[in-house]
């Protein structure tokens, strides 16, 4: 099947991928700032709201010229942002609600105008709304002796425009995106940047609309940027990752639209739809595997934390069961497990895993059905108990926590106490507070 596919590959397929990639890159560059501003739905709103601008331009000029389309879309795109802000501020309506009111109204108006104008001008509502990426080669222009699809030129032009805007205004965009008030204080016109961004979104939407359709435009404005944000917190890296993901969606989307249906003996499916699907696949992978916010990494961190807490609880329990004259006491494992479960600690599986780790680290020694602390384990346990009892002193003397509530609160806090925090707790205690409120001696610090 792969050999057959390779033999059937043509320049037309290359132009489909190129046009799709240019559209995806153009949308991804702006999408990063929309996502960071928590205005990702603004791209969706503008992508729908530009329809009245397109329709009016068609009605007035009876032409689908790019310049006329860009002007109409840019004007309505800026008006969408202005109307949204106006409804939000004057009407005291939540931002997303005001956006929904504006774009649905303008979208409905655009549909009415398109339907009325479609009988009089050369306008195909299906192409405007759903795109025709597979047909891009049919409308080509000669550039330096090479036939290049008009859609590729349009998408390439807005890609260069967006890249230039981001490159020239990167510092200002970064400040205005994360802290508009600081930007204004520094003399940066955050509102002008906002409307400039909205204008470019509108122009990008129009340039890509007819070729790739509204579904892919909306997907590429949001999904690559959201996916990149899961992988990195650096804006420059986020832009690079989003652009790479957009290109990957274009390539894998076209290949998937051709090859995947063949697996079930079906004809090729819609290319731009598959490109949007691939963006969802990339997002799903990021949700699962992203290093900081991915589901897998969070599960691993949670397990690691629970094992550390279980190990510290075991060390603390062994320390409490020892007495100064019976150091090295062997405590049976069933007794330890029962005590931990009774105190709300780990279950049997977590108990065994924690014991195994402590044994590997040389902090406990196993002896038949029991175990005891080594010198290293006793020192670590004393540090944990010191944090616990210092917290009891602090909570009792400074916050007035009742005596019967001290142990539970200190048991939670002992696991998050850093050496610096422990020193602060020790400094807050007086010389007379060498024992905790229960009368137990506080171990000396290392």
The string of pLDDT tens digits covering residues 99-109 is 888 888 988 88
Q: Residue 337's pLDDT is what? A: 63
349 vs 285, more confident: 285
At CA 100, angle to CA 96 and CA 103, rounded to 5? Answer: 130
Q: Residue 325's pLDDT is what? A: 44
Rounded distance between C-alpha atoms, residue 352 and residue 358, angstroms: 10
What confidence tens digit (pLDDT) does each residue in 174-232 have? 999 999 889 989 999 998 898 889 889 888 887 887 788 888 999 999 999 999 999 99
Q: Tokens at residue 332, please? A: 């049976």
pLDDT at 31 > cutoff 90: yes
CATH fold label, 298-428: Arc Repressor Mutant, subunit A (1.10.10)
User: Any idea where the domains of the chain sit in the sequence?
Assistant: 2-219, 298-428
* Of the listed ranges 22-26, 96-100, 187-191, the one predicted with least confidence: 96-100
Q: What is the mean pLDDT of the chain?
A: 85
Q: Flag whether the pTM goes above 0.85.
A: no
Rounded distance between C-alpha atoms, residue 90 and residue 104, angstroms: 19
**What is the pLDDT confidence band of residue 113, given thresholds at 50, 70 and 90?**
confident
CA distances (Å), origin 174, targets 36, 234, 235, 316? 10, 11, 8, 48
CB 34 within 8 A of CB 225: yes
């Amino acid at each position: 099947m792969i050999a057959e596919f390779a033999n059937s590959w043509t320049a037309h397929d290359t132009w489909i991928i190129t046009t799709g990639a240019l559209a995806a890159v153009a949308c991804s560059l702006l999408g990063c700032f929309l996502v960071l501003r928590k205005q990702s739905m603004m791209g969706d709103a503008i992508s729908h709201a530009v329809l009245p601008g397109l329709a009016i331009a068609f009605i007035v000029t009876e032409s689908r010229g790019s310049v006329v389309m860009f002007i109409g879309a840019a004007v309505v795109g800026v008006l969408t942002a202005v109307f949204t802000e106006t409804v939000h501020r004057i009407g005291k309506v939540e931002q997303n609600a005001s956006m929904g009111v504006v774009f649905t109204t303008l979208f409905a108006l655009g549909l009415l105008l398109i339907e009325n104008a479609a009988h009089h001008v050369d306008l195909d509502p299906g192409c405007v709304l759903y795109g025709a990426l597979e047909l891009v080669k049919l409308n080509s222009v000669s550039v330096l002796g090479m036939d290049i699809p008009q859609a590729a030129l349009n998408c390439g032009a807005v890609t260069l425009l967006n890249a230039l805007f981001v490159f020239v205004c990167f510092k200002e965009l970064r400040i205005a995106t994360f802290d508009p008030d600081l930007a204004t204080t520094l003399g940066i016109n955050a509102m002008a940047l906002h409307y400039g961004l909205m204008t470019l979104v509108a122009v990008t939407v129009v340039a890509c609309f007819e070729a790739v359709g509204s579904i892919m435009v909306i997907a590429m404005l949001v999904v690559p940027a959201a996916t990149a944000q899961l992988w990195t917190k650096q804006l420059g890296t986020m832009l690079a990752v989003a652009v790479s993901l957009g290109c990957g969606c274009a390539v894998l989307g076209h290949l998937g639209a051709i090859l995947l249906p063949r697996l079930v003996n079906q004809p090729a499916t819609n290319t731009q739809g598959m490109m949007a699907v691939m963006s969802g696949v990339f997002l799903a992978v990021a949700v699962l595997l992203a290093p900081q916010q991915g589901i897998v990494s969070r599960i691993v961190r949670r397990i690691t934390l629970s094992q550390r807490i279980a190990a510290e609880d075991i060390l603390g329990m062994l320390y409490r069961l020892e007495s100064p004259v019976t150091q090295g006491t062997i405590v049976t494992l069933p007794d330890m497990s029962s005590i931990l479960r009774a105190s709300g600690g780990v279950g049997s599986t977590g108990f065994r895993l924690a014991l195994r780790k402590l044994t590997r680290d040389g902090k406990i020694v196993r002896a038949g059905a029991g175990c005891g602390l080594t010198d290293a384990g006793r020192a670590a346990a004393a540090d944990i108990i010191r944090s616990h009892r210092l917290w009891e002193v602090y909570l009792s003397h400074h916050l007035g926590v009742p005596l019967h509530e001290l142990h539970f609160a200190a048991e939670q806090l002992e696991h998050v106490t850093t050496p610096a925090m422990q020193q602060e707790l020790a400094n807050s205690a007086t010389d007379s507070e060498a024992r905790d409120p229960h009368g137990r001696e506080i171990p000396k610090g290392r």
